[in-house]
Structure 1
Amino acid sequence: MVYTEHKDAGGFLAVAHEALEEQESANGLMLGVCKRLAEAPDAHDTPPYLATVEAAGRLCVAAVMTPPYNVQVFQPDGADAGGLGPVADALQRGGWSVPGVIGTTNTAEAFAALWAGRTGAALRTTMRQGIYELRQVRPPPCPPGRFERATEEHSSLVREWASRFHEDCFHNDECGRSLRIAEAKLQSGDVFLWVDGGEARAMAARTRPTANGQAISFVYTPPQHRRKGYASAVVARLSQLILDSGKQFCTLYTDLDNPTSNSIYRRIGYRRVAESIEIGFT
Structure 2
Amino acid sequence: MFEKVDPQYLLEGVDGFIQEEVSYNLFYLITGFEEALTIKSCDSKVLFAQSPRGNPWLWVNRDLPEEERENALKLLIEYLDETPLTGVSSEPRTAEMFANLYGARYHTSIKRRMDMEAYACPQVVKPEGVSGCLRSAQLGDVETVAQYLAGFSEDGYGIVVDPASQMEAAEIMVCKGGLYMWLVDDRPVSMAQIAHRSPRHGRINAVFTPRNERRKGYAGAVVSGLCSILLGEGLVPMLYADMVNPASNRAYQKIGFIQSGQISDIRFE
Query: Normalising by structure 1, what TM-score?
Result: 0.85
Identity, in percent, stands at 24
Mark the runs of 5 or more structure 2 residues left unpaired by the alignment. none
Given that 1:163 and 1:179 are in contact with CA atoms closer than 8 Å, whether structure 2 keeps it comes out as no
Residue 266, structure 1, aligned to residue 264, structure 2: no
Given that 1:151 and 1:189 are in contact with CA atoms closer than 8 Å, whether structure 2 keeps it comes out as no
Q: Which residue does 1:113 correspond to in 2?
A: 100
Q: 2:147 aligns with which of 146, 151, 160?
A: 160
After alignment, is 125-134 or 210-219 more displaced?
A: 125-134
Counterparts in 2 of 1:241-260, with a 5 A limit? Answer: 241-247=229-235, 249-260=236-247
Given that 2:146 and 2:169 are in contact with CA atoms closer than 8 Å, whether structure 1 keeps it comes out as no
Deviation at 1:185, TM superposition (A): 3.7
Q: Which residue does 1:76 correspond to in 2?
A: 61
Query: Normalising by structure 2, what TM-score?
Result: 0.89
CA deviation string 1:120-158 (max 9, x = no partner): 212244211111111001111232211111112212222
Q: 2:22 aligns with which of 25, 34, 59?
A: 25
Counterparts in 2 of 1:215-234, with a 5 A limit? Answer: 215-234=203-222
Q: Which residue does 2:180 correspond to in 1?
A: 192
SS of match in other structure, 1:208: strand
Q: Which residue does 1:214 correspond to in 2?
A: 202
Q: Which residue does 1:140 correspond to in 2?
A: 127
Distance 2:198 2:187 in 1: 33
Distance 1:211 1:217, change over 3 A: same
Distance 2:197 2:16 in 1: 17
Distance 1:101 1:24 in 2: 17
> What amino acid is the match of 1:132?
Y
Q: Which residue does 1:61 correspond to in 2?
A: 46
Given that 1:123 and 1:280 are in contact with CA atoms closer than 8 Å, whether structure 2 keeps it comes out as yes
Q: 2:228 aligns with which of 236, 240, 248?
A: 240
CA deviation string 1:8-37 (max 9, x = no partner): 412434465x643332211111212212x0
Distance 1:54 1:183, change over 3 A: farther
CA deviation string 1:99-122 (max 9, x = no partner): 211111111111111101211212
Given that 2:142 and 2:170 are in contact with CA atoms closer than 8 Å, whether structure 1 keeps it comes out as no
Given that 2:87 and 2:268 are in contact with CA atoms closer than 8 Å, whether structure 1 keeps it comes out as yes
Deviation at 1:53, TM superposition (A): 0.9
Distance 2:73 2:148 in 1: 38
Deviation at 1:67, TM superposition (A): 4.2
> What amino acid is the match of 1:191?
L
After alignment, is 121-130 or 235-244 more displaced?
A: 121-130
Residue 130, structure 1, aligned to residue 104, structure 2: no
Q: Which residue does 1:277 correspond to in 2?
A: 264
Counterparts in 2 of 1:159-178, with a 5 A limit? Answer: 159-173=146-160
Given that 1:204 and 1:234 are in contact with CA atoms closer than 8 Å, whether structure 2 keeps it comes out as yes
Deviation at 1:278, TM superposition (A): 1.6
Given that 1:112 and 1:123 are in contact with CA atoms closer than 8 Å, whether structure 2 keeps it comes out as yes
Q: 1:90 aligns with which of 34, 54, 79?
A: 79
Given that 2:20 and 2:261 are in contact with CA atoms closer than 8 Å, whether structure 1 keeps it comes out as no
Q: Which residue does 2:192 correspond to in 1?
A: 204
After alignment, is 151-160 or 260-269 more displaced?
A: 151-160
> What amino acid is the match of 2:22?
S
SS of match in other structure, 2:73: helix
> What amino acid is the match of 2:196?
R
Structural RMSD (CA): 2.4
After alignment, is 98-107 or 164-173 more displaced?
A: 164-173
Given that 1:51 and 1:63 are in contact with CA atoms closer than 8 Å, whether structure 2 keeps it comes out as yes
Deviation at 1:201, TM superposition (A): 0.6
> What amino acid is the match of 1:119?
Y
